[in-house]
Amino acid sequence: MKILYLTSFLFISVLGFAQDKASSPSTFSPEIPNFKLYPNPVYGDAVYITSDFNDIKIITVYDVLGEVVLTDRISTNTLNISQLVPGVYVLQVTERQKVMTRKLVVK
């Protein structure tokens, strides 16, 4: 009887948790092409953000608790982070309706 229950459970698990194939990267690309964030870790007051678009970027920086600690809109590739205390942050960049998220370490 235990074998019957175990077999039924495994069969249902395989059917219930099957995953669909992911779409190919060539058809959908939500990322900003050639996105670069440097230096990381940061020792100064500026971080540089570049991409192929080289367009206006909306920047949001979150602390480890998920609180927004910095928002900015930049048209150059330089983000002033002088108001951030040393720590680990999540940096979100939006450019041409595409979003990139990266970890940022400030020392």
Span 73-82, pLDDT tens digits: 999 999 999 9
- Which pLDDT value is given to residue 100? 95
Predicted model pTM? 0.72
User: Which H helix or E strand runs over 5?
Assistant: helix 2-16
Q: How far is CA 37 from CA 28, 62, 76, 77, 82, in A?
A: 23, 16, 13, 9, 16
CB 40 within 8 A of CB 104: yes
CATH of 32-106, one of 3.40.50.10860, 2.60.120.40, 2.60.120.10, 2.60.40.3080: 2.60.40.3080
- Which pLDDT value is given to residue 25? 47
Span 23-81, pLDDT tens digits: 444 445 579 999 999 999 999 999 999 999 999 999 999 999 999 999 999 999 999 99
Q: How far is CA 97 from CA 49, 72, 86, in A?
A: 16, 16, 30
Of the chain, the percentage scoring pLDDT greater than 70 comes to 73
